[in-house]
Amino acid sequence: EPFEFIKLSKTGEKQNVGLIQLNRPKALNALNNALITDIANALDKLESDKSVGAIVITGNEKAFAAGADIKEMANKTFSQCITEGFIENWTRVANTKKPVIAAVNGYALGGGCELAMMCDIIYAGETARFGQPEILIGVIPGSGGTQRLIKSVGKSKAMEIVLTGNQINAQEAEKMGLVSKVFPVDKLLDESVKLAEKIAANSQIANALAKESVNVALESTLQEGLRFERRMFHALFATKDQKEGMAAFVEKRKPNFTHE
Ligand code: HXC
pLDDT digits (tens, 9 = 90+) for 159-186: 999 999 999 999 999 999 999 999 999 9
In Å, the largest CA–CA distance within the chain is 64
Distance 104 CA to ligand 1 centre (A): 16
Helix (H) or strand (E) holding 41: helix 33-48
**pLDDT tens across 229-245, in order?**
999 999 999 999 999 99
Helix (H) or strand (E) holding 183: strand 181-183
- Between the alpha carbon of residue 161 and those of residues 64, 86, 154, 191, 224, the distances in Å are 18, 24, 11, 28, 31
Indicate which atom in ligand 1 lies nearest the CA of residue 143.
Answer: 54
Q: Is 68 a catalytic residue?
A: yes
Cβ–Cβ under 8 Å, residues 131 and 178: no
**pLDDT tens across 83-109, in order?**
999 999 999 999 999 999 999 999 999
Distance 109 CA to ligand 1 centre (A): 9
β-sheet bridge partners, residue 43: none
Asked if ipTM goes beyond 0.90, one says: yes
Among protein residues, the one whose CA lies closest to atom 43 of ligand 1: 67
The answer to whether the predicted template modeling score (pTM) of the entire model surpasses 0.90 is yes
Q: Which residue of the set 67, 134, 173, 196 is catalytic?
A: 134
Cβ–Cβ under 8 Å, residues 114 and 141: yes
The residues, ordered by sequence, that sit 6+ positions from 157 with a Cβ below 8 Å of its Cβ are: 176
Q: Measured from the CB, is residue 109 less than 6 Å from ligand 1?
A: yes
- β-pair type (121-125, 100-104): parallel
**pLDDT tens across 43-81, in order?**
999 999 999 999 999 999 999 999 999 999 999 999 999
pLDDT above 80 (res 215): yes
The residues, ordered by sequence, that sit 6+ positions from 203 with a Cβ below 8 Å of its Cβ are: 239, 241, 242, 245, 257, 259
- Which residue out of 5, 26, 39, 70 has the highest number of ligand 1 atoms within 8 Å of its CB and is therefore the one to mutate? 70
Q: Which residue of the set 30, 68, 102, 200 is catalytic?
A: 68
- Between the alpha carbon of residue 163 and those of residues 47, 143, 148, 155, 157, the distances in Å are 37, 16, 15, 12, 10
